[in-house]
Structure 1
Amino acid sequence: MADPITKSTRKRILFIVNPISGTRGKESILHIINNTIDNETFEPEILFTRKKGDALQIISEKIAEGFKYFVAVGGDGTVNEVGSAIINTDCVMGIIPLGSGNGLARHLRIPLDAAKAIQVINKLRVESIDYGLVNGLPFFCTCGVGFDAHIGYRFAKEKGRGFFNYVKVALTDFISYKPKKYKVKIDGTQKMKVKAFLITCANASQYGNNAYIAPNADIQDGLLDIAIMSPINLLQAPAIGAMLFTRTINKSTVLQTGKAQKVVIKRKREDVVHFDGEPIIMDRKIKITVVNKGLRIIVP
């Protein structure tokens, strides 16, 4: 007869829930986790964050207690916090995508249904993926400057969340937005001066919501995909939007693409940068690099 499962033989796993991410309520998530997680494999614990930065503090304490598995329950911001806390360690991240965009989860094809995402965790297939650094801050999907960063900054100030509120902000600001001039250096050798609508450095293929800015991005190749979009007008915008959602934006004549390990962007003054959907004001010089296979993550 097999020995009974005891706490000492199970893996300690912490679910970190962001109660305000996305547009969906989190009232049922405790029930879903408790009823779906494999209790023979895992010894689960669930904690809710209260403010930005909580996940970093929680994970630091739990690693000291012997936890190795950490699940981000929320959107790309929650994923970023959890991932940032365990990069370059033997800890492992899982994702239950409950945010507005869910860029990394979508790239990795993790189900958006919470119960199905937990079934992925139960199977415990772990791979190592790349992550990026923008002026020392980790990101896992995309980072960049220009219109998308501007909209991210505006969206963060809005009360409403979700994709349709994001689109409303984007449409409102599109006409008044002025493309900016940048100096770009790629891998220390290739230099260019550009006037751009946006510049994105992508580790994963999409921003979120299946908007693919870098359809061919490989999250394990040790390279970032660079996308520089020339200024566009109102007549071009619908076609560009359609190409984002049909994974064909890389075929557009307004997009210059490439791959690199290191990108340096200079602009006239400090301004907003986005990373994994989070806007932040940074200096005029932005250094973006990639770390090859520095995060261990549970995938389908």
Structure 2
Amino acid sequence: MPAPLFIILNAGSGHAETELQRTTIEDLLTAAGREFELAVLEQASELAGIAKHMAARARDTGGVLVAAGGDGTINTVARAAVDSGCQFGVLPQGTFNYFGRTHQIPEDLAEAVQALLTARVEPVQVGLVNDKVFLVNASIGLYPKLLEEREIDKKQYGRSRLVALLSALKTVLGSYRHLHITVELNGKTRTLRTSTLFVGNNRLQMEQVGIAPLAERIEDGKLAALAPQVVGKFGMLALLLRGALGRLGDSPDLHAFGLTSMTVKQRGLVGRRRIKVAIDGEVTHLNAPLVFRVLEGQLLLLKPAPATEADQEPLALAS
């Protein structure tokens, strides 16, 4: 029998049509005769607890834990799937949906549910910063500030990629502090002054900003690190523009390297040992130092089955 699905739908992922989403999922799975259990999340603070409970149910029944929401929701539910060892599915409902798009999961909810019904299991790479999972990226410095400002602007102007871009421009041209960090990598220590340290675990995101070599390293079991040099506001604006045009790799003002493990210490942490970190679009605080690494165990993701040759060939016209 097909494995039962244990689905967590985040009603706070920026969609007013939560009821429509719920009925879409229920109607399609019922019509397919698939056993499922659906939990609608009303409060973000409840997500981790519900994910842990549903993951235990999936593990005990040989089922699949499924996240319906944006990259932040997917991250939290994926952590529960990794901890329990159960299979994991995704119904992307966010703004950018980097994780879902990387793994060819449709952004349309009905299409994503249909794809889930015929999906195959494939292990995918997971990144860790200290004990926190990240599927897309983790960062310190300017990027967490950018995400916080973006959430404020989205609540006022709505969720869209245009709002996100304009919010980023506003943040880059505003005031912020530069980081002074030491990085321990491959047995060597180096000092960096940068506005932000960005560690990526998503091939699509690296390709979109124009850093194809690092995208290939992610496919080879590594993480990708980016750290712009201190270049001033207009220099940062130029870097942002290069990234939007997919040419960030051409910039001489960028440190970029691959890694499997890296320890980061922030200089000047007098009287405090916690650092603000953005993880898959959600901002939190972690104890210093920060240790970035690739998780040894992988996430058992249900990915859409590849199209068959018959599906790909156009239908012949009747004579």
Of residues 201, 214, 238, the one that matches 1:203 is 201
Q: Which of the numbers 29, 32, 51 marks the counterpart of 2:24?
A: 32
TM-score, reference length from structure 2: 0.80
* CA distance 1:126–1:217, shift in 2 (3 Å): same
Aligned to 2:120: 125
Which structure features the higher share of strand residues?
Answer: 1
Structure 1 segments of 4 or more deviating over 6 A? none
Cα distance in 1 for partners of 2:202, 2:211 equals 7
Question: Which residue of 23, 29, 43 corresponds with 2:35?
Answer: 43
SS of the residue 1:178 aligns to: coil
Shift of 1:83: 0.3
> How far off is 1:136 after superposition?
0.9
Q: Which amino acid aligns with 2:122?
A: E
Q: In the comparison of the two structures, how many residue pairs are matched?
A: 290
**Contact kept? 1:220, 1:292, Cα under 8 Å:** no
Kept after mapping to 1: 8 A contact 2:211/2:247: no
TM-score of the superposed pair, with normalisation by structure 1: 0.85
Equivalent residue letter for 1:37: L
Match in the other structure for 2:49: 57
Structure 1, residues 274-300: CA drift from partner, whole Å, max 9, x if none?
Answer: 111111123342111111451011123
Amino acid at match of 1:77: G
Determine whether 1:177 maps to 2:180. no
Aligned equivalents of 2:13, 2:24: Cα separation in 1? 17
Give the deviation of 1:118 after TM superposition. 1.5
Match of 2:293 in 1: 289
Residue 20 in 1 paired to residue 12 in 2? yes
- Is the helix fraction higher in 1 or 2? 2
**Once the two structures are aligned, what percentage of the paired residues are identical?**
22
Deviates more, 1:52-61 or 1:64-73: 52-61
- Whether the 8 Å CA contact 1:201–1:225 is kept in 2: the answer is yes
* DSSP-derived class of the 2:13 partner: coil
The amino acid of 2:130's aligned partner reads N
The residue aligned with 2:222 is: 223
- In 2, are the aligned partners of 1:213 and 1:227 still within 8 Å (CA)? no
Alignment root-mean-square deviation, CA: 2.7
Q: Mapping of 1:1-300 within 5 angstroms? A: 9-23=1-15, 25-37=17-29, 40=32, 42-62=34-54, 63-64=56-57, 66=61, 68-87=63-82, 89-156=84-151, 159-160=155-156, 162=159, 163-175=161-173, 176-187=175-186, 189-205=187-203, 212=209, 215=212, 216-217=214-215, 219-267=218-266, 268-269=268-269, 270-292=274-296, 294-300=298-304
Counterpart Cα distance in 1 of 2:282 and 2:19: 25
Amino acid at match of 2:203: S
